[in-house]
Chain A
Amino acid sequence: MDGVHDMGGTDGFGKVEPEANEPVFHHRWEGRVLAMSRAIGVFRAWTIDTSRYAIELMAPSFYLSRSYYEKWFLRNQNLLIERGLIDADEVAAGRALRPAKNLSRGPFSLADVDKVTRRGSYGRPAPAAAQFKVGDRVRTRNIHPTTHTRLPRYARGRVGVVERLHGAHIFPDSAAAGKGEDPQWLYTVRFDAQELWGPDAEAKLKVSIEAFEPYLERA
């Protein structure tokens, strides 16, 4: 979707302000939100792509004005309700009002921690031969799906060169829509800055994206 989350190239956000000796979490609750996000993963109620899409669906004013972990918290709470793991009246009450339905496994416990602090694999067997090879010139498609996509706006309809081939991966556009993994070839596609930003682009700059095959056509 063409949302505010797709920020590449947007002007006006000001300088980057690194914080010296930044703590991992600025508030205790941020750590709890992160930990809950990881823990809930064992119930496989949603995928990483669904969770990104849920944040993209937040109202632009909310997205822009709330902190990172506030958005994560709201995303978690909302998806938990939507998937029926908890109920809205329980959130309002601040406590459980009824037992969990269809609990597929026991509680997330210390023995499960290693499972969720290790990243999963998103690679999948390729459904067909790759259409492009390293060195090919490709053009990204000028597409504007209203649902989740990982093709950023600044890199649509642009000509670049295939630099790396990563095998086939879960296709986020499909997974986030609840249409299954639909594995697709994943490439690193490199663009000259002038192709993306015009004649006033910074000199000696190249930018790459990770592009799924359905985002690309031969140039």
Chain B
Amino acid sequence: MHDAAFLGYISSMAEHDHDHNGGSNLSEMELRVRALETILVDKGYIESAALDRIVELYETKIGPHIGAQVIAKAWSDPGFRHALLEDASKAVAAFAPHVGNVGDHLIAIENTPQVHNMIVCTLCSCYPTDVLGLPPTWYKSFAYRSRAVKQPRAVLADFGVTLPVETEIRVWDSTAETRYLVVPMRPAGTERWGEAQLAKLVTRDSMVGTGLPKKPSEVA
């Protein structure tokens, strides 16, 4: 495909790195990225204001609060829970206008007292971005990608989570365009809680399977 030219280019960039460290308040990467953006704008491919908007969306609008509202509704409404487990793309898109931007192939999987689910992408960084936003660095890290499928209990320990020995752990490696969302178990002691309050218990990590929802006492 483009091996030789590509690798040659990489090595020239690596040298470039060493030549120009220091001497500027802007990092080498900042300068390179700015240069590429300038070229794309000057040639008429993109407008910078549109890039600003994409950054803003991921920083403020598309994040784990969307997933948290979905989970809180699933905990509160048995009909929605059923629809979510049946076809998550459809259920989530119909749920509320602010989560209308959900693409295809979203699949919700439910934790039970018997089975705890965990999501990983060993090959790259596939993640249910539509409902959780961009993945955190740990999700993309070599440590997580390498160990989650082999030693998930050790990985859970890195997150401070210990599950009963009798709980089965089920790891889903996202090797295609399907995207998985974990539906954690509703914490005890929340029987009278409304959806907005329940959503505060739902952490990002609990929807990836590396964490558990907060305890009611943590958000009261």
Contact = CB atoms under 8 A, between A and B. Distances in A.
Nearest to A118: B101
A59 B7 contact: yes
B162 interface: no
A199 interface: no
Nearest to B106: A119
A117 interface: yes
B136 A9 contact: no
Interface residues of A, number: 105
Contact of A211 (B53, B169, B175): B175
A73 B55 contact: no
B51 A32 contact: yes
Interface string B55-67: 1011100110000
B49 to A, nearest CB: 6
Contact of B36 (A36, A99, A155): A36
Given A90-B39, A94-B35, A208-B172, A9 B149 contact: yes
Contacts of A25: 55, 58-59
Contact of A39 (B46, B142, B165): B46
Contacts of B1: 53-54, 57
A206 B114 CA distance: 13
Question: Would you call the interface of chain A mostly helix, strand, loop, or mixed?
Answer: mixed
B2 A57 contact: yes
Interface string B14-48: 10000000000001011011111111111111110
A106 B44 contact: yes
B214 to A, nearest CB: 14
A13 B169 contact: no
A80 B170 CA distance: 40
Given A6-B122, A24-B133, A202-B152, A86 B105 contact: no
Contacts of A202: 150-153, 169
Contact of A78 (B9, B44, B45): B9
Contacts of A201: 150
Contacts of B169: 202, 204-206
A182 B56 CA distance: 36
B54 interface: yes
Contacts of A206: 168-171
A111 to B, nearest CB: 8
Given A73-B33, A107-B46, A207-B171, A24 B124 contact: no
11 contacts: A10-B142, A11-B146, A13-B141, A24-B133, A64-B142, A80-B40, A108-B46, A114-B101, A118-B101, A119-B179, A206-B168
Interface of B: 1-3, 5-7, 9-10, 13-14, 27, 29-30, 32-47, 49-55, 57-59, 62-63, 101-105, 107, 120, 122-125, 129-130, 133-134, 136-138, 140-153, 155, 158-159, 165-179, 205, 210
Question: What are the 3 tightest A-B residue pairs by CB atom distance, in nearest-first order?
Answer: A119-B103, A8-B122, A96-B42
